[in-house]
A and B are shown apart, each in its own frame.
Chain A
Amino acid sequence: MQDAAISVQGLVKRYGEIEAVAGIEFEVPKGELFGFLGPNGAGKSTTISMLCTLVRPTAGRAFVGGYDVVSERDAVRRHIGLVFQDTTLDGYLSAEQNLRLHAELYGMPREHVPARLQEVLEMMELWERRKTLVNHFSGGMKRRLEIARGLLHSPRVLFLDEPTIGLDPQTRSSIWSYIRRLETEQDITIFLTTHYMDEAEYCRRIAIMDRGRIVALDTPDALKASVGKDRVQIHTENDEATIVALRERFGLDAQIAENLVTFGVAEGEQFVPRLFAELGQQIRSVNLSRPSLDDVFMSYTGKTIRDAEASSTDQLRQMATMWKRR
């Protein structure tokens, strides 16, 4: 038995020539909201599939909820909830029927089913719609129903593979408010993948994956700090003089961007008081921004997440073909 909710040791998955996952290691403690970040085709979905016992690792080991994903497959399955990228609901059944089917497939004790069913549907605010055929649900409602279903059997770990993909921004933010509530209200570990940088901010820790490898793993703040510089923008009486002053007094190279004097500096919060004290120019406003996770991804992989996606499209296509051939 392992103590962590998820423990991964030297995990590898090869599809013929292609190494989709090239030896990764990490641990996720109980109760954490853990994000797996990376462009499409980085190996996130393959990793999740291995953790969920759907794909057998080529090498290495992984434990989920303390169980080995290869030798204790059914035990792993009983203790995880899954929400896939694509919907896996039966559109011809009602929301409630989908959940009942799930309860039966998972062998839930019958006396627990009605209460749990009501709880998860209320949690996702679908209780009033429980009799509706899933085909009549919107994309966001379907996703919520899938999360409800994933939670129905009280899993120790909930896997969300791109939970907001293909949803409009409003629905995305609504799904996230549900996920964050789960994190605080439920005794559950959440493992999710995303290629939206802004969403990864909500995670307690994130792993950045690129071409089958984990290139960085830490809290979002620590990752951003590791990139170094914060971005400072100031609005002054005299921009020209300010730029000169910044160069002379602080050795900083500033430019005008968006009509503001803009420069990068390490540990921006500590720098701002010095700025006021020593600049010798009137400052009207200051805007300090931390580096984004986009900057983090860039600094670890040397490319933006969009570039990475473009280059991995071919590889993705190849894998999709193999997937279909199963």
Chain B
Amino acid sequence: MSVTATPAAPQHPAQGHRVAATHVPSGGLRGELRAVKIVWWRELIRFSRDRLRVVTSLVQPFLFLFVLGEGLSSIAKEGTHGVDLKTFIYPGILCMAVMFTAMFSAASIVWDREFGFLREMMVAPVKRSSLVLGKCLGGATVAGFQGLIVIAIAGLVHVPYAPVMMLAVFALQLLLAFSITAFGVMAAARVSQMQSYMALMQMAVMPMFFISGALFPISGLPTWLSVLNRIDPLTYAVNPMRQVVFAHLTINAAARRALTPAVTWFGWAVPGLLEAGVVLVLGLVMLGIAIAEFSRVE
């Protein structure tokens, strides 16, 4: 039996049966919420597919915590008044872990532009604000998972598993992750190449992390560093994080004074809620800018 080559045309076209055509109702708030939800859901799916990312984005925070924290502990003994250096750094690491993940989440916008998917979203009959909001919430959620992992290792650095503390820490992490994602999305609106985006993020995020006081107490700093520290937005996430964690530690008064000084504005100690407020407001402002950027039409 001979087999003849089949033509390129499909061999058994589907029958011309008709399913009732659908219609797309004019969106309204419900439509916008569905858009927010689906963009958020996509972030989660993609994160769950990318297990390597879960691991790699924790490498750097854990290096800081365990290698730096352990390595410097002998020369830091005097200053920490008996508190393990790892315990002191831990709140900074709680922030760092979510920062990196949030940053990577926002980076997917740059990918989406390069691989075209961004267009599919941009032509949908929904507001751009819904897309940007979904993205930021997605970034915050994904980063939240990473945050949970770091919370889970509290015992290794002598921090008790106090439910109130863990909740407060997690809330701060979500807030920080949301703001960092908004920052990343804002940057991604302008930067069209992955390399440039990554370079920009490194340039912004590492100094922010170092200056924030994640690795050192923020009292008694030279003026220039003190000024930079107060300008650094991350200061207002790291400090309340440390206050929350240290409130649940039993340490001597000298250590508490030395390690957990309040952030001051011209001598006035800024309350923790206001600090969190600063992070929230900055996040919302950047979200607003990101939305404006993505809403522009040529």
Contacts and interface: CB of A to CB of B under 8 A. Distances in A.
Interface stretch (B16-24, B227-235, B263-271, B276-284): B16-24
A109 B22 contact: yes
A171 B24 contact: no
A152 B9 CA distance: 23
Contacts of A108: 22, 24
B25 A107 contact: yes
B163 interface: no
A294 B45 CA distance: 48
Contacts, number: 131
A93 B45 contact: yes
Interface string A172-202: 0110011001000101000000000000000
Nearest to A85: B116
B22 A78 contact: no
Contacts of A174: 8-10
A105 B38 contact: yes
B82 interface: no
B24 A56 contact: no
A112 B34 CA distance: 15
Interface residues of B, number: 44
B14 interface: yes
Interface stretch (A119-127, A219-227, A240-248): A119-127
B21 A187 contact: yes
A97 B45 contact: yes
A320 to B, nearest CB: 12
Given A56-B298, A88-B120, A89-B117, A79 B24 contact: yes
A116 interface: yes
Nearest to A77: B125
A104 B25 contact: no
A177 B30 CA distance: 38
Interface stretch (A47-55, A252-260, A264-272, A276-284): A47-55
Greatest chain A CB density within 10 A among B7, B8, B20, B122 is at B8
A174 B13 CA distance: 11
Interface in A119-169: 119, 122-123, 125, 149, 152-154, 169
B8 A173 contact: yes
Greatest chain A CB density within 10 A among B26, B30, B298 is at B298
Nearest to A114: B19
B117 A154 contact: no
B115 interface: yes
B125 A74 contact: yes
Interface string B16-56: 10111111111100110011011000100110011000000
A299 interface: no
Interface in B109-127: 112, 115-126
Interface string A93-120: 1000100111011111100110110110
B123 A116 contact: no
A120 to B, nearest CB: 9
Contacts of A109: 22-23, 25
Given A75-B26, A169-B8, 16 more contacts: A52-B123, A78-B27, A92-B46, A92-B49, A97-B45, A101-B38, A106-B124, A107-B34, A107-B126, A113-B22, A154-B23, A154-B24, A170-B8, A171-B8, A181-B13, A187-B21
30 contacts: A53-B297, A54-B123, A56-B297, A74-B125, A77-B124, A77-B125, A78-B27, A79-B24, A82-B123, A87-B115, A91-B115, A92-B49, A92-B50, A97-B45, A100-B38, A102-B124, A104-B34, A104-B37, A104-B38, A107-B125, A108-B22, A115-B19, A116-B19, A116-B22, A125-B10, A171-B8, A173-B9, A181-B13, A187-B21, A326-B298
